[in-house]
Chains A and B, each alone.
Chain A
Amino acid sequence: EAQVTQNPRYLITVTGKKLTVTCSQNMNHEYMSWYRQDPGLGLRQIYYSMNVEVTDKGDVPEGYKVSRKEKRNFPLILESPSPNQTSLYFCASSFSGSDEQYFGPGTRLTVT
């Protein structure tokens, strides 16, 4: 089944404790992206990647890192999480970036 998977789906952590949210797609897509969704603010792009080893900042990259060492994986790293990073995070992928985006099921992160 073609899909985008994210892990974990739910995470509660404390300020400053490094964490990684994994994202994997099995559709051989070149483009992958991370978004956060907050009430009243909608979906905002954090980082995106056009291909292996090619990443670029979105609208809200501060406090996040990404890497794209393999085509199928695009992990999101929070080196020192803070409470303002409490949010619902979505990973997405597509063939080219200009076509349909397939979203993962979301990761609900709470930083206390």
Chain B
Amino acid sequence: RKEVEQDPGPFNVPEGATVAFNCTYSNSASQSFFWYRQDCRKEPKLLMSVYSSGNEDGRFTAQLNRASQYISLLIRDSKLSDSATYLCVVRNSGYALNFGKGTSLLVTP
């Protein structure tokens, strides 16, 4: 079983919609959690870190549920420019990072 699992999508949503992605991880000792964004085979870029208390950055909200071992990302008021692949990333007790395969989002006019 892969350590980090995501629904690959694609998620096709109209502009202005709210969309949520979930990610589950298998290692209960995981320590750090992130969402990265990757545009069409370009390099991944950090979207936001995920904290136990949850965190929000503009239209984006990330939540962590340690008991159920899942992480979520909510995007409100979707823009065309939000179209990308969203990668869930988990760090265990060492320094190796585990990436999910990514969830593809397409926002349409």
Contacts and interface: CB of A to CB of B under 8 A. Distances in A.
Interface of A: 31, 33, 35, 40-45, 48, 50, 56, 58-59, 88, 90, 97-101, 103-106
A106 B38 CA distance: 12
B84 to A, nearest CB: 14
Interface string B69-90: 0000000000000000001000
A21 to B, nearest CB: 14
B45 A103 contact: yes
A65 to B, nearest CB: 18
B87 A103 contact: no
Contacts of B41: 88, 106
Max chain A Cβ within 10 angstroms of own Cβ: one of B31, B95, B96: B95
Contact of B95 (A31, A35, A104): A31
Pairs A-B, 8 closest by C-beta atoms = A42-B101, A103-B43, A97-B95, A43-B99, A100-B46, A42-B99, A98-B32, A103-B44
Interface string B82-109: 0000010001001111111110000000
Given A42-B87, A45-B99, 15 more contacts: A35-B99, A42-B101, A42-B102, A43-B99, A48-B96, A50-B95, A56-B94, A56-B95, A56-B96, A88-B41, A90-B44, A100-B34, A100-B49, A106-B41, A106-B43
Contact of B100 (A42, A90, A105): A42
A43 B42 CA distance: 12
Nearest to B44: A103
Contact of A98 (B36, B91, B98, B101): B91
A58 B99 CA distance: 12
A43 B95 contact: no
